[in-house]
Amino acid sequence: MIINKVVIPVAGWGTRSLPATKNIPKEMLPVYKKPTVQYVVEEAMTSGLNNVVFINNQNKKIIEDHFDYNLTLERVLERGGKEKLLAEVRQVAEMVNIISVRQKVQLGLGHAVLCAREAVKNDNFAVMVGDDLLFGAEPGIKQLIDVARSENMAVVGVMEVPQSKVSNYGIIAGEEINPGKYKVRNLVEKPPVSEAPSRLAVIGRYVLTPEIFEHLEKVEPGVGGEIQLTDALQGLAKANRLLAVKIHGQRFDAGDWVDYLTANIYFALHDEDLRDDLVQRLRELLSCS
Ligand code: G1P
259 CB less than 6 Å from ligand 1? no
- Total residues belonging to the chain: 289
Handedness of CA 226, 232, 238, 241 (dihedral sign): negative
What's the pLDDT score for residue 1?
Answer: 81
Residue 166: CB within 6 Å of ligand 1?
Answer: no
Q: Residue 14 has what pLDDT?
A: 84
With respect to residue 285, please indicate whether it lies within any of the assigned structural domains.
Answer: no
Q: What is the pLDDT of residues 223-246, one digit of tens each?
A: 989 999 999 999 999 999 999 999
Provide the residue-wise pLDDT of the chain in tens; the chain has 289 residues.
Answer: 889 999 999 998 889 999 999 999 999 999 999 999 999 999 999 999 999 999 999 889 999 999 999 999 999 999 999 999 999 999 999 999 999 999 999 999 999 999 999 999 999 999 999 889 999 989 999 999 999 999 999 999 999 999 999 999 999 999 999 999 999 999 999 999 999 999 999 999 999 999 999 999 999 999 989 999 999 999 999 999 999 999 999 999 999 999 999 999 999 999 999 999 999 999 999 998 6
CATH number of the domain bearing residue 88: 3.90.550.10
Neighbours of 250 (CB within 10 A): 12
170 Cα to the center of ligand 1, angstroms = 6
Ligand 1 site, residue 189, Cβ cutoff 6 A: yes
Give the residue among 63, 41, 35, 91 at the shortest CA–CA distance from 263.
35
**Residue 282 domain flag:** no
287 found inside a domain: no
Greatest CA separation found in the chain? 63
Residue 171 domain flag: yes
Return the pLDDT at 13. Answer: 87
Residue-number span of the structural domain to which 73 is assigned = 3-255
Q: Answer whether residue 18 is part of any domain.
A: yes
User: Helix %, strand %, coil % for the chain, to 5?
Assistant: 45, 25, 30
Taking the centre of ligand 1 as the mean of its atom positions, its distance from the CA of residue 289, in whole angstroms, is 35
Say yes or no: CB of residue 133 within 6 Å of ligand 1. no
Sign (positive or negative) of CA dihedral 37, 39, 45, 48 = negative
Cα-to-centroid distance, 120 and ligand 1 (Å)? 21
Give the SS3 label for residue 186. Answer: strand
> Domain for residue 147, yes or no?
yes
Q: 144, 182 in Cβ contact below 8 A? A: no
Tell which one of 169, 199, 256 to mutate to probe ligand 1, the residue whose CB is within 8 A of the most ligand atoms: 169
Q: Say what the pTM is.
A: 0.95
Tell me, yes or no, whether 271 lies in a domain.
Answer: no
Number of domains in the chain: 1
What SS3 state is found at 15? helix
pLDDT per residue as tens digits for the range 93-117: 999 999 999 999 999 999 999 999 9
**Residue 62 pLDDT:** 95
Assigned domain for 277 exists = no
